[in-house]
Structure 1
Amino acid sequence: MCYIYNNNNYNLKIMKLQFNVALLFVILITLTNCHNDNHSPDLPHDSLFYIDYRSLQGLPDGLAVIELDPEAPNFGNISSKLELGVGVLPHHIYYNHTEQKMFTTALGGSYLYQIKTERDQKGQPQLINATPIDTGENTVGENLFFTNDGRYFMTFMGGAGGPKDGSIGVFNADNNKLIKTIKAPIQDNPNQFIMYPHGISINEEKGLMMVTSTIHPDLSTGMGNTCTLLDLNTYELKETYQVADSPTDMSSPVEVLLLRGKFPQYALATTMLGGDIWIAPYNTVTKKYDAFTKVFEGSTQGLGWALEMYIDDTNKLYVSFADPGKVLVFDLSNLPQLKLLKTFTADKGAHHMAFFKTKSGKEVVAVQNNLLNIPNLNSGTISIIDINTGKNLGTVNLRTRYGILPESIEGTNGPSNYMHH
C-alpha cells in the first residue's frame, strides 16, 4: 500500500511537471506571437502601410492602409480609411517608444491625434478612430520624439501664431497631457532662439535635444537657417548654430539627426532650400556639438530640397531630395566623411521612406513623393525601389487613382526604419 501510494504521488508530480512545461510553452508561443504582431519582418501583411493623405477633391483628409508590394495582386489598393476632417492635413505618423500607440501630427485641425487601430479576423490592419490631443496654444504640428522616461516632444512650426514664432511641446506619454511649452523668441535673444521648429532629434544618453529652424507655416513670412541645442531635462537653450553658408543664406534646415548608440556621435542636418547635408561633431569637453560644416552639396549633383534622413538595418543613410526626386544612399562608417554609394530615382517631391521585403524577398524602399502640394514637388506617387539594383519595381499614383496626395508613410507592424531622427 505504501509503495502504491508513493508511485501514484510520483506520477502526479510528473503529470504536474509536464503540465507546467506545456503551459510555459504555450505562454512563450503567445508572447512570441504578440511580439511578432508588431515587429516581425516575416509577418503576412508586412507590405501594408499607413499613409497620411490630403484630399484633392475638397473631401476630408485622413489616413489609409495601402498595399505596397508590387508582387501582390492588390498592389496599390487601399483597404481601410479614417477621415479626420477637411483641411486637417495630417502630416507625420509616429509610434510611441513601446510601439504600442500610434499618433499623427497635423498642420491643421487639432494638430495632434492618437490613432486607434485593430486587426480583423485575417490579421489585416484596420483604422478605427482618432482622438484629438490638446496642444494648448501651440499650432501647426510637425515632428514627434518619444523618450524612454514617459515624455514626448513635439515641434510646432507656428507656435502661438506670431510672424517669428515657434515652440516645442512637452507631453506626458501616459495621458497625452501637455506638461510644458518651450519658447525662446528670437526677439528676446538673437543668439539663442527657437523659431519655426520642424525637425527634432534627441540623444537621451547625453541629455540633449536639437530642433531646426525651417520656415513660417505660410511659406513666405519668414525663413530660418539655424539649429538649436537644448538640455533635455532643464529645457534650457545651450546653443543656436548657423547651418548655412552665411547669416543671410536662408537655407531652411528641415530635419536633424543626432546619431547615437553604435554610431559615431555627430549631428546631421538637411537644408530644404539649401539642398545640402551638414554635419557637426559632438565635443566631449563642452558637452555640446561643434559648428556645423557642409558635408554634401546637392547642387553639385543637380539636387535640391534635401528633406528626410533614414537609417536602414545595414547602417546606411538614406536622404531624400525632393527636386528632382532622388534618394541618395551614404556610407556612415567614415564620418565625418559621407561616402555616396547609390542614387535612386523616385518622383518629384521625394520625401518620406519605408523599408520592407517583397513577397519574393526583394529588399525595397517605398518613397512617398509629395511635399505640401508645392507645385512641381507634388507628384502624389509612391515609388517602390529595389535597394540592391536601384530598379523601380512599381509606382502607385494616388493623385490619379484616388484623388489624394500622400503626406507621410509608416509601417503597420511598427516603425519601418532603423532610425529616422
Structure 2
Amino acid sequence: MHAYKQMFLPILLVAIIGCSEPNKNSADTNSTLAEKETQVLPKEPVNIEETQAIVLLSGLPTLDTTDSIAIIELDPASEKFGDILYDYPLPKLDAPMHHLYYSPNGRLYATGLGTECSLAEIGLVRNASAAPIISSFDCLDTKGQNVGEDIMWHSVNGELYMFVTFMGGTDLSHIDAGSVGVFNAQTNEVVKIIEARKSQVAEGAPYIMYPHGISAYGDRMVVASTIHPTIATEVGNTVTIINLNTFEPIETIVIQDATPVGFPSSPVEVLFVRPSIVENVPPAILVNTMFGFETWKIPYNEQDKTFGEPIKLYDGATEGTAVPLEFYGNEKELFISHGIPGVVKRYDLNQLPDLVSSGEDIKAESGAHHMIFYKNSAGRQLIAVQNNLLNLGDAADNDPTDTDFIAKLNHHSVTVHDLNTGERLGEINFKERYKKGIDNIEALFGSGFTHHH
C-alpha cells in the first residue's frame, strides 16, 4: 500500500468522528487561476466538446482494473451521459496520478502522488478525424522531488515559470520534507529547487514543509504546509511566503486556532486574491485548513509588501462541515468544496477577500473535491463536482479493494448540478459503473471557465 494512503487512514478517521456531531465555516500569469479570467463563456453555437471532461481514473486492484486517463460525457441530457468516450491506459506506477493542469499555452500536465512519476506531461491532441485523443504520457525529471501536488504558472521579471509543490521534497525519509520545483515553462527542465527544511535553517527562520497549495501575486508566492506523505503524525500548521525575485522563503505564518480532531490545522489549498480576479480588491491570501475545518484570510499590504495577522472567516467545527479542500470560481462566484458532509459553498466574488454567501450550498457527495463549470447542449449553466479524496478501500464496508479507506471521503462519483439552483441533474458512480475510482476532473482542452488556486 502506498504510504500516501497510509497517511490518511488514522487522521481522517479521527476527522470524521470529530465532525459527526458538530458543536452548535496585475500582470502576473497564473494558469491555474488567472490565465482564464479574460475568457467569456461561449455563446451559441455551443461547442459540443464543452460538455466533455478529461478525468484521471484509478484502477481498483481486486477488481482487476488499472489506472487511465479518460474522456467522458457530462451532459445529463445526453444519451451518452457518463459514457467513457476515450480511455488511455497509464503505466503501472507506485501511486496514482493526482491532478490535471493546463499551462497558459494549453499544454496538459499531471502531478503524481508517488515517487516513480511525480510530474508528467500529457499529449492531448486531435486525430485525423478531429477527435480528442491522448498521444503520449511522459514522466518528467524532477531532480528527485516526489509526491507532486499543485502546479502554477507565473511570470517573474518577464519570464514565465512553472512552479510545482512536492510534499515529499527530495527525500521522503526527511521528517520535515518538502520542496517547490521551479521549471522552465518551455523545456520542463528544473531551474531551481526551493527547499528550506525546518531542521536545517536557523531557529525562527522561514521554512517550507509538506507544501501543497500554491498561489501568487506579483513577486510574492505562498505555499501551504499540509501533511507528511508517509509519516501520519507529522502535520503542518503554516503557510510560507516566497520572494519570487530570489526564489527564497522570507516568512512563515502560523494558521491555527482550535484543533477539532487533535491534529495541527493542516493548511491545504491557498488562493492569493488579487486585482486580476476582482477589480480594486484589497489583496489577501485565503487558506483552507483541512484538519482545522476553517477558512482564513491573511491581509497583504501591497505598498510595503507585508502580511497582516490571519483572520478566521469560516469555522466548520461550528457550522457542521469538515475537510475544506479546493478554491474554484467563475466570473461571479467563489466556490469552496468541503469533503464532509460533501458540499460546495458559494460566495460573492465581488465581496472578496471576505466570504459573503451568494446562495445555498451545492449538495454533492462525501469527499467533494475538484469541480468544473460548463454549459450543456441547451445552454444551461452546470457545475460538475468530483466526490473523492483518495482511492482507498474499506473491507468493513465490503468495498473490494486492496486497502482500507475512510468511506465518508470516497464516494467515487461525479455529480452534475444546475449552477444557478444547485439542483442535482445527474450522477456517475465510477466504482459501480467502471470498477474504478476518480482522482481528478478537468475541462476538455481547458474549455471550462474557471479560477483555480
TM-score, normalised on structure 1?
A: 0.86
Number of residue equivalences = 380
1:348 alignment partner AA? S
Following the alignment from structure 2 to structure 1, what is the Cα–Cα distance between the partners of residues 100 and 307? 29
Other structure's SS at 1:372 match? coil
- Change in 2 beyond 3 A, CA 1:415/1:215: farther
- Change in 2 beyond 3 A, CA 1:237/1:77: same
**Residue 104 (str. 1) matches residue 110 (str. 2):** yes
Alignment partner for residue 228 of structure 1, among 219, 234, 240? 240
Contact 2:335-2:347 within 8 A present in 1 as well = yes
Contact 1:310-1:417 within 8 A present in 2 as well = no
* 1:217 CA drift (Å): 0.9
Following the alignment from structure 2 to structure 1, what is the Cα–Cα distance between the partners of residues 277 and 124? 33
Alignment partner for residue 342 of structure 2, among 293, 318, 325? 325
Other structure's SS at 1:129 match? strand
* 1:190 CA drift (Å): 5.1
Cα deviation code 1:177-196 (max 9, x no counterpart): 11111101111245311000
Alignment partner for residue 320 of structure 2, among 299, 302, 311? 302
C-alpha RMSD over aligned residues: 1.9
Following the alignment from structure 1 to structure 2, what is the Cα–Cα distance between the partners of residues 150 and 277? 30
Following the alignment from structure 2 to structure 1, what is the Cα–Cα distance between the partners of residues 161 and 385? 30
Following the alignment from structure 1 to structure 2, what is the Cα–Cα distance between the partners of residues 283 and 268? 15
**Residue 213 (str. 1) matches residue 222 (str. 2):** no
- Change in 2 beyond 3 A, CA 1:190/1:404: farther
Higher gyration radius (CA): 1
Alignment partner for residue 60 of structure 2, among 28, 52, 56? 56
Partner of 1:257: 271
**Residue 371 (str. 1) matches residue 385 (str. 2):** no
- Change in 2 beyond 3 A, CA 1:324/1:40: closer
Other structure's SS at 1:401 match? helix
Contact 1:45-1:124 within 8 A present in 2 as well = no
Other structure's SS at 1:339 match? coil
Following the alignment from structure 1 to structure 2, what is the Cα–Cα distance between the partners of residues 328 and 246? 22
**Residue 358 (str. 1) matches residue 365 (str. 2):** no
> How do residues 18-417 of structure 1 correspond to structure 2 at under 5 angstroms?
41=42, 42-57=46-61, 59-86=65-92, 87-99=94-106, 101-108=107-114, 109-121=116-128, 123-148=130-155, 149-159=159-169, 160-161=171-172, 162-187=174-199, 188-189=201-202, 191=204, 192-203=206-217, 206-218=218-230, 220-245=232-257, 250-260=264-274, 261-263=276-278, 264=281, 265-314=283-332, 316-341=333-358, 342-373=360-391, 374-375=405-406, 376-414=408-446, 416-417=448-449
Large movers: runs of 4+ above 6 Å: none
- Change in 2 beyond 3 A, CA 1:219/1:272: farther
Cα deviation code 1:59-83 (max 9, x no counterpart): 4323111111111110001111222
* 1:285 CA drift (Å): 4.1
TM-score, normalised on structure 2?
A: 0.80
Of structures 1 and 2, the one scoring higher in RCO (CA 8 A, sep 6+) is: 2
% identical aligned pairs: 37
Partner of 1:20: none
Cα deviation code 1:357-391 (max 9, x no counterpart): 11112111100000013412000000001111110
Larger fraction in strand: 1
Other structure's SS at 2:68 match? strand
In structure 2, list runs of 5 or more residues that go unmatched: 1-38, 392-404
Following the alignment from structure 2 to structure 1, what is the Cα–Cα distance between the partners of residues 111 and 75? 26
- Range 160-169 or range 408-417, more displaced: 408-417
* 1:405 CA drift (Å): 1.1
Contact 1:62-1:90 within 8 A present in 2 as well = no
* 1:336 CA drift (Å): 4.4
